[in-house]
């Protein structure tokens, strides 16, 4: 367990420099992401927010090693990333647990790939499952778990191999609002204990502010980094902070940044009329009569 | 304590299994009605578009069965058919499943082999009989070959289908947990395709029986298919029905065996 609970974070420096990704189409190459630079310091919690289709998941997939940059460099602790590996744990929005393995079997998977022997695998998995409050479910198959529980197992599984950085791609996107809030709390608690670098992709502004040390805001396609915002809220974070004026101020700032980009992403068909709806003159008739 | 618990337990058991009990009950009634209809149609020798004049009655078939039970020759026919199914089907599974897995994983293998299998697939196994007789030195081998062909394509096609449906997110997840090609194959592709592989095995088992019986009727000297055809040639009509029912039960049993094996191998799959 010594490798998963590090006292001083020194590893896990993610550096993405002048990243660009384009893919060929019949009309010529299309740029999905262009000249994006981000970094995650060791032990830091960093989020990327942006309108849908802006390439935030592309950026995360590049760090995971699923795709190669067309331009720029992606490095982890100074080494260029070449394909997926166990030093970068990942949690997807779609529950990606192996349905044919029990909860414990899923958590043990990465350790099995590391050729750990059965008893130490067993011990490590039990410790982590205990930490996430999942001991009672260790022999259940994923199909019998709720969405929130599946995602908790997913996080535990990604952490089990002791990765240098944890990548999360809208992990709570499919959960209901209440479960989401609880999962955010659980994630911050685990992050605080493990002191691991985290790169978190989301479109939920509240979630990004509540969880992060820093938030990158991306523009509409082709995605670039529009702004970088430090979140000075103190740790440990509490749910009540979401009502503080500091939080709301940050939220307002990010909101207006994103809103501009979301309108652009929707192709500009939205004008002021559609958004405000104030100046529609119905001549005293109701809308139903007009239509 | 135990006596207090028995009744409530039985009540709960009834509540949980009500649906299943109902199905069993209705199924039993349906079978009895079928037998009754058969009995009446043959006893009164009904002629109404179809002619039941020569069709054996259930009682005649039962009599034939009791005679067959004391006849080692009948068991030899059954055992021989079972052996042919076992060899043909096992061979098909051993070749088609790995082939499907490899074809599903490696594009080049798929591109090379798929056109050939697609042309061979629609040919009914029974159409292979003349070629099979030419190919194989003994009658026994060609019959096993026909059975093999019947089972082969359903297993291959379903394995391929299963491979094409493997969720790429699971593959990515395994890669991020440190899995390499061999492990991904063993730990992700194979178990993810298993439900479809078992669908293929069940279908393949059915087609194997169809092919076997046809082959035995054409070129056999032994086997339950031959027994049935021989009964027709020898005007022992009751034996025809006995052979047919025997084939039905053997087919049912072997399918159930595959399904049971599937449940054993895939405890996570509750469908």
ipTM value, please give it.
0.83
Backbone CA torsion sign across A174, A179, A181, A184: negative
From the list B213, B221, B220, B219, the residue with the least C-alpha distance to B240 is B213
Q: C-alpha distances in angstroms, B263 versus B15, B185, B269?
A: 24, 21, 7
- Determine phi and psi for A286, rounding to 5 degrees: -80, 160
Q: Pick from A66, A86, A142: which is nearest to B172 by CB? A: A66
Q: Are B266 and A100 in contact (CB under 8 A)?
A: yes
Beta-strand relationship, A30-40 and A14-23: antiparallel
A96 in contact with B, Cβ within 8 Å: yes
User: Testing the interface with B: which of A86, A88, A96, A104 to mutate, by most B Cβ within 10 A?
Assistant: A96
- Count of beta carbons in the 10 Å neighbourhood of residue B93: 22
Top pLDDT among B227 and A286 is at B227
- Helix boundaries (H) for chain A: 56-64, 103-113, 118-131, 147-160, 177-194, 205-211, 245-265, 272-276, 287-290
Q: Tell the CATH superfamily of the B58-269 domain.
A: MetI-like (1.10.3720.10)
Indicate if the pLDDT at residue A41 is higher than 80.
Answer: yes
Contacts of A114 in chain B (CB under 8 A): 178
Element (H, E) at B233: helix B224-233
pLDDT of residue A1: 41
Q: How close are the terminal C-alpha atoms of chain A, in Å?
A: 67
- pTM for this prediction: 0.83
How high is the mean pLDDT of chain B? 93
CA dist B206 and B215 (Å) reads: 14
Q: Pick from B167, B178, B269: which is nearest to A113 by CB? A: B178
Q: Pick from B177, B180, B266: which is nearest to A109 by CB? A: B177
B266 in contact with A, Cβ within 8 Å: yes
- Count of beta carbons in the 10 Å neighbourhood of residue B242: 25
In this structure, the dihedral spanned by the alpha carbons of residues A260, A263, A268 and A271, taken in order and rounded to 10 degrees, is -90
Give the residue extent of every domain in chain B. 1-55, 58-269
Query: Is B176 within 8 Å of A157 when comparing Cβ atoms?
Result: no
pLDDT of residue A3: 45
Contacts of A90 in chain B (CB under 8 A): 172-173, 176
Query: Is A157 within 8 Å of B270 when comparing Cβ atoms?
Result: no
Contacts of B183 in chain A (CB under 8 A): 113
B183 in contact with A, Cβ within 8 Å: yes
Q: How close are the terminal C-alpha atoms of chain B, in Å?
A: 37
pLDDT of residue A2: 43
pLDDT tens for A193-216 read 888 999 999 989 999 999 999 999
pLDDT of residue A5: 47
pLDDT of residue A236: 86
pLDDT tens for B68-117 read 999 899 999 999 999 999 999 999 999 999 999 999 999 999 999 999 99
B111 in contact with A, Cβ within 8 Å: no
Q: Pick from A99, A113, A142: which is nearest to B177 by CB? A: A113
Indicate if the pLDDT at residue B51 is higher than 80.
Answer: yes
């Amino acid at each position: 367990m010594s490798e998963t609970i590090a006292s001083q974070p020194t590893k896990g420096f993610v550096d993405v420099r002048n990243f660009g990704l384009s893919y060929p189409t019949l009309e010529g190459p299309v740029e999905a992401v262009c000249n994006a630079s981000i970094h995650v310091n060791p032990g830091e919690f960093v989020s990327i927010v942006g309108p849908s289709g802006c390439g935030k998941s592309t950026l995360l997939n590049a760090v995971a090693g699923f795709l190669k940059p067309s331009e720029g460099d992606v490095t982890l602790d100074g080494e260029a990333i070449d394909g997926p590996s166990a030093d970068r744990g990942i949690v997807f929005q779609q529950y990606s647990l192996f349905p044919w393995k029990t909860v414990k079997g899923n958590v043990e998977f990465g350790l099995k790939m590391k050729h750990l022997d059965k008893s130490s695998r067993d011990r490590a998995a039990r410790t982590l499952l205990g930490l996430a409050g999942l001991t009672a479910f260790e022999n259940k198959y994923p199909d019998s778990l709720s969405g929130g529980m599946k995602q908790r197992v997913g996080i535990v599984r990604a952490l089990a191999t002791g990765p240098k950085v944890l990548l999360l791609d809208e992990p709570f996107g499919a959960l209901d609002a209440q479960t989401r809030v609880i999962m955010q709390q659980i994630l911050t608690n685990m992050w605080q204990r493990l002191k691991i670098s985290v790169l978190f992709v989301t479109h939920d502004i509240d979630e990004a502010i509540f969880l992060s040390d820093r938030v990158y805001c991306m523009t509409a396609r082709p995605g670039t980094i529009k702004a970088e915002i430090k979140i000075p809220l103190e740790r440990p974070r509490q749910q009540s902070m979401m009502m503080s004026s500091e939080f709301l101020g940050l939220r307002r700032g990010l909101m207006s940044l994103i809103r501009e980009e979301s309108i652009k992403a929707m192709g500009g068909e939205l004008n002021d009329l559609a958004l405000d709806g104030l100046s529609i003159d119905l001549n005293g008739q109701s809308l139903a009569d007009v239509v | 304590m135990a006596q207090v618990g028995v009744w409530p337990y039985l009540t709960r058991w009834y509540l949980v299994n009500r649906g299943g009990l109902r199905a069993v009950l209705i199924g039993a009634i349906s079978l009895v009605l079928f037998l009754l209809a058969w009995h009446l149609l043959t006893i009164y020798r009904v002629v109404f578009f179809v002619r039941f004049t020569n069709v054996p009655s259930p009682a005649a078939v039962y009599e034939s069965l009791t005679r067959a039970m004391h006849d080692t020759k009948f068991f030899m026919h059954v055992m021989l058919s079972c052996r042919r199914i076992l060899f043909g089907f096992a061979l098909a599974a051993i070749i088609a499943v790995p082939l499907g897995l490899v074809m599903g994983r490696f594009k080049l293998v798929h591109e090379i082999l798929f056109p050939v299998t697609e042309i061979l697939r629609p040919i009914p196994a029974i159409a292979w009989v003349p070629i099979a007789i030419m190919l194989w030195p003994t009658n026994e081998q060609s019959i096993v070959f026909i059975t093999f062909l019947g089972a082969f394509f359903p297993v291959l096609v379903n394995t391929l289908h299963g491979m094409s449906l493997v969720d790429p997110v699971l593959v990515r997840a395994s890669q991020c947990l440190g899995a390499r090609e061999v492990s991904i194959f063993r730990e992700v592709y194979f178990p993810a395709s298993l439900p479809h592989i078992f669908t293929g095995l069940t279908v393949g088992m059915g087609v194997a029986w169809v092919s076997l019986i046809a082959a035995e009727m054409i070129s056999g000297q032994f086997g339950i298919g031959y027994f049935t055809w021989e009964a027709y040639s020898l005007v022992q009509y009751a034996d025809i029905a006995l052979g047919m029912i025997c084939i039905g039960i053997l087919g049912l049993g072997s399918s159930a065996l595959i399904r049971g094996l599937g449940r054993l191998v895939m405890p996570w799959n509750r469908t």
